[in-house]
Structure 1
């Protein structure tokens, strides 16, 4: 999950049209960062979810690449977009149970931990699926 930090201030200062353009830019950058192997969805407001397979040894670099892709200034007035990101990894463990709802809830909790630490952070939540 990715939540654009301080998005309300963009809408308040520059208007909803500029905020919408910024969200389109963020979505395009996310799509570019994950390539053909990932799926990017905007879940509402300024929140996005990325689903993609990642080798365990590459997950940290993948998260950094995604974060960097959307942390560059965006907008006609060089608005600096700072992003707080929650990233979750699902793995298979026998006899463990998990659902998509649980995965999203775990990711959402991790995202809010990142925001409580001041935003522009990465927080991890691991959900084990059977």
Structure 2
């Protein structure tokens, strides 16, 4: 006869048990969800709004020579928005999806993608700045 631990190891993964027992009545679970939303969703979406606002300010205030710089900041803003919405989908799938996610995906890949996008964007801005002088 199998013990409870052996049946747990053989039949259900930890994420399946978490999903089966997940209820929004536990105070710590609610705090965890809020922390994930603030960190993984909110930070990306706030940064996206900041970048898009900066791009619109550059496009609106300055002359036509600055349009490439404003366009670069708008691309960065939209990239942050896509990553933020993707993180929202991943969080919802992890916490409240119909099929439990096997593990929680940390931000390694999105951070790497955004780092590459920002480095390329700033390398595109440098020649534009020198062209203005």
Normalising by structure 2, report the TM-score.
0.28
Normalising by structure 1, report the TM-score.
0.28
Q: Identify the structure with the greater strand proportion.
A: 1
Q: Which has the larger radius of gyration?
A: 2
Q: Identify the structure with the greater helix proportion.
A: 2
